[in-house]
Structure 1
Amino acid sequence: MSLDPLASLLAAVLVLLVGTLLNRRIGLLSRYNIPDPITGGLLFALLASIALSAAGLKLAIDQTLKPVLLLMFFAGVGMCADLRMLKRGGKALVIFLLVLFPYILVQNGVGIAVAKLLDQHPIFGLVGGSITLVGGHGTGAAYAERFAEVNNLQSVMELSMTVATMGLIVGGIIAGPVAQYLIKRHGLRSQAGDAATPEPAAETAAAKPPIATVGMVGALAGILSAVLAGQWLAARFADAPVTIPSFLWCMMLGVLIRNVLPFAGARFDDRASDLISSVCLSLFLVMTMMALNLVEVALSAGPFLLMIAAQAAVIVFYTVFVCFRFMGRDYEAAVSSAALIGFNMGSTATAMANMQAITARYGPAPQSYLIVPLAGAFFIDLMNAVVLTVTLPLIGG
């Protein structure tokens, strides 16, 4: 059974609502800030996988809207970036990148060590390292084709997709508890408005009127303009020496619209932009999770389960004792740490969903929302490419 785009969108909305309900009713999920799309999407994927294995029933979710939702999300992030409030982000971005680069080396070292322990080719260690965990499904697929042709490694494509999928799931599950631990352990609070404190939140709600229709329409116009222009620019500069992905174009144009048009008299309600981008991210992530076949993932994982477990343990240690400390040991550092787990184990979308879950409970983190998309969507891919280019010849890749 296949759903058309509109029916698939409705299914995603319903699954997201189920995930939200479960997170509010089950204390363990709420306590550790598991993102609503992860909860609902995993439940759907589990039930769909059981139905497929037991009765041969398959529900195909149309993915046509997914790319648009992701672009709208990043454009919305840009539309929320008031550079007057985020002028200190430059230093934090540099520090974040300095934290990220050595972790790519550590991640590949862990993967290669586990591969050797399991008597596997070292290349499989990179497949269980930054190729799929930092690079995601796209980078995993690209390298898998090369390994199949040049190194004659069997089933490397399926394994790459499996590891990338497992990383996506793990990255969405463990980040919340880690951030929860850091926030509680150090008594951290948001400096941009503490959502966990009833008195300031009540005063803020009383001071600001509800989001008006004109504010929502204006934010939507800005987001859609950034998406359309970002897609055009991505296609226009696709053959440039350094390729900028379309979602990064959309985010940068969102920043431009938000910070330039006010000089011409335009006014934007950041709450409306944040609401639109949050909805788009949640729907994108839940549709991704709904498309997973967990039975196939489990059957093809094999020894990579140990590799993922080792990677999860190492990234938790690195996040708590390196990332959090170097980023300043404050609330922004805790939020950025949750994001580091997200896009180093899954994707930038997972990182943003992790941050969304934390900030929805404890308050905004504007600096993290600026530096994390830039680091995860652009700089880390460049660093990963450099590391892999140097490492592959050393291990016979």
Structure 2
Amino acid sequence: MQFSAMESLMVALLVLGAGQWIVHKVGILSRLNMPEPVVGGLLATLIVTGLQLAGINLTFDESFKTPAMLFFFGAVGLAADFRLLKQGGWAMLIFAILVIVLVALQDLVGVTMATVMGLEPYYGLIGGSVTMTGGHGTGAAWAEVFQRDFGLTGVSELAAASATFGLVFGALLGGPLAMFLIRRYRLSAPAHGAGEGDERYDQAEKARPIAAASVIRILMLLSVGVVVGSVAAEQFAEVFRLPTFVWVLFVCILLGNTARRLWHVNDATIDMVGNTALGIFLAITLMSLQLLQLVDLALPMLAMLLVQVMLALSFITFVTFRLMGRNYDSAVLCAGHCGFAMGATPTAVANIQAVTQHHGPSPLAFIIVPVVGGFIVDIANATIIQTFVSVLSG
């Protein structure tokens, strides 16, 4: 059964509504900071998988998926006041280093396990940062390389299954991990705006309701940012290759800070538009997952992925949390790190969004996680993977 673009969007919105209702009604999900789009999306995945087992195949049109993702990252960029970027300086640098270290450890552990279990070491990279940090896109790209250059078979399906495994665990564990840290160390969110020293700005922001004119201005800026960022990604692909959403992020950072000098930018409107786009993206992604691919994972590969989950949780809990300050912001950052260390940057942002909705704002996390997760992770991951490939083939 094939769903059109509009029908798929309708299903995605129904999935979001179901996720909101379930989290509201099931207290434990709310206490565990489970993202509403993830809850609804995983329910849809289970339903679609059950129908597949019954011989009914549902195929969704994913036309709205990429635009929703780009609008979300554009909204993150618009909300990125340069004051917050400056404030995140050293914290962003330290967090980036920790992210790079974990990426290298994922590949080291993956290659070691594959070798011990008698598999080609390249399978260890597939079960390492290629899919755990890289997600479906990076997994598909490297699977083609491994199949073409090294003669590996079935790597495309294996990469898709591994990325799905990571995405599910990254979404499920990020919020509960942050909640554990917050309760274990009795942490609380600092007063909003206290770090910026600009109370009048925050009061003015709170006093302005969301209006149609404000929504139109934000959509205007986002559309310009998405188009310009997409064109830049295409034009500079041969010289400086970065994911399109990273270009959109940085273009919208410039647009947002320029717009703040010309007129008032309502951050509440940006949050509303961005959160809606993120919800649609995650709903379409999750309801389109082929969960049955996980059944085809060989036991050694499954064991490798479980070890990767334990590695990520241990590193984030005992290293990231401590070195980032053992405070509320560091706990929220751990939820984000968990998201893109085992899934993707949108999952990371959904994790920190779920935590901050229940425990209070963390502007620092909303700046650091998208920038590090979208920009530095992709560059570091590609470099580290290529280094391992060179060594293994050398």
TM-score of the superposition, structure 1-length normalised? 0.92
Name the counterpart of 2:386.
389
Which residue type is aligned with residue 356 of structure 2?
A: T
Secondary structure of 1:3 counterpart: coil
Q: Which residue of 2 aligns with 1:363?
A: 360
1:354 deviates by 0.7
Q: In the alignment, what sits opposite 2:168?
A: 169
Separation in 1, partners of 2:180, 2:266? 33
Question: Residue type matched to 1:332 in 2?
Answer: D
What is the number of equivalent residue pairs in this alignment?
Answer: 386
CA distance in structure 2 between the partners assigned to 1:206 and 1:362 by the alignment: 20
Q: Which residue number corresponds to residue 147 of structure 1? A: 146
Q: Which runs of 5+ in 2 are unaligned?
A: 194-201
Q: Which amino acid aligns with 2:9?
A: L
Letter in 1 for 2:320: C
Structure 2 matches for 1:229-378, cutoff 5 A?
229-240=228-239, 242-263=240-261, 265-300=262-297, 302-378=299-375
Does the CA-based 8 Å contact 1:159-1:301 persist in structure 2? no
Q: Distance in 2 between matches of 1:64 and 1:302?
A: 35
Task: Return 214-223 or 2-11, whichever deviates more.
Answer: 214-223
Contact 1:192 1:366 in 2 (8 A): no
Q: d(CA) in 2 for partners of 1:21 and 1:301?
A: 37
Residue deviations 1:7-48, cap 9 Å, x none?
A: 111100001111111112222221211111111111111111
With over 3 angstroms needed to count, the CA separation of the structure-2 counterparts of 1:112 and 1:353, relative to structure 1, is same
Q: CA deviation at 1:204?
A: 7.4
Question: For the aligned residues, what is the CA RMSD?
Answer: 2.0
Cα distance between partner residues in 2 of 1:161 and 1:206: 43
Matches within 5 A, 1:100-119: 100-119=99-118
Indicate if the aligned counterparts of 1:128 and 1:304 stay in contact, CA closer than 8 A.
yes
Q: Partners of 1:76 and 1:192 in 2: how far apart?
A: 23
SS in 2 for 1:130: helix
Indicate how the Cα distance of structure 1 residues 26 and 233 shifts in structure 2: closer, same or farther if over 3 A, else same.
same
- Distance of 1:41 and 1:143 partners within structure 2: 27
Could you say which residue in structure 2 is the equivalent of 1:29? Answer: 29
Structure 2 partner of 1:200: none
Superimposed CA distance per residue, residues 113-152 of structure 1 (whole angstroms, 9 cap, x where no aligned partner): 3323432221111110011111222221222122212222
Distance (whole Å) between structure 1 residues aligned to residue 220 and residue 298 of structure 2: 44
Q: Distance in 2 between matches of 1:340 and 1:298?
A: 27
Q: Which residue pairs with 2:52 in the alignment?
A: 52
What displacement does 1:395 show?
Answer: 2.7
Distance 1:302 1:291, change over 3 A: farther
More off after superposition, 138-147 vs 319-328:
138-147
1:198 alignment counterpart: none
Assess, with a 3 A threshold, how the Cα gap between structure 1 residues 279 and 53 changes in structure 2: closer, same or farther: same
CA distance in 1 between counterparts of 2:205 and 2:79 reads: 21
Displacement, 1:206?
12
Q: TM-score, normalised by structure 2?
A: 0.93
Structure 1 residues without counterparts, runs of 5 or longer = 195-202
Q: Determine helix, strand or coil for the equivalent of 2:190.
A: coil
Change (3 A) 1:364 1:239: same
Partners of 2:205 and 2:267 within 8 A in 1 = no
Mapped to 1, the partners of 2:18 and 2:299 lie a distance apart of 31
String of CA shifts for 1:153-193, please: whole Å, max 9, x gaps.
11111101110111011100011111001111122222243
- Give the partner amino acid of 1:236: Q
In structure 1, the partner of 2:196 is none
Cα drift, residue 396 of structure 1: 3.4
Letter of the 1:247 partner, please give it. F
Q: Deviations over 1:311-332 (max 9, x none)?
A: 1111111111100111111111
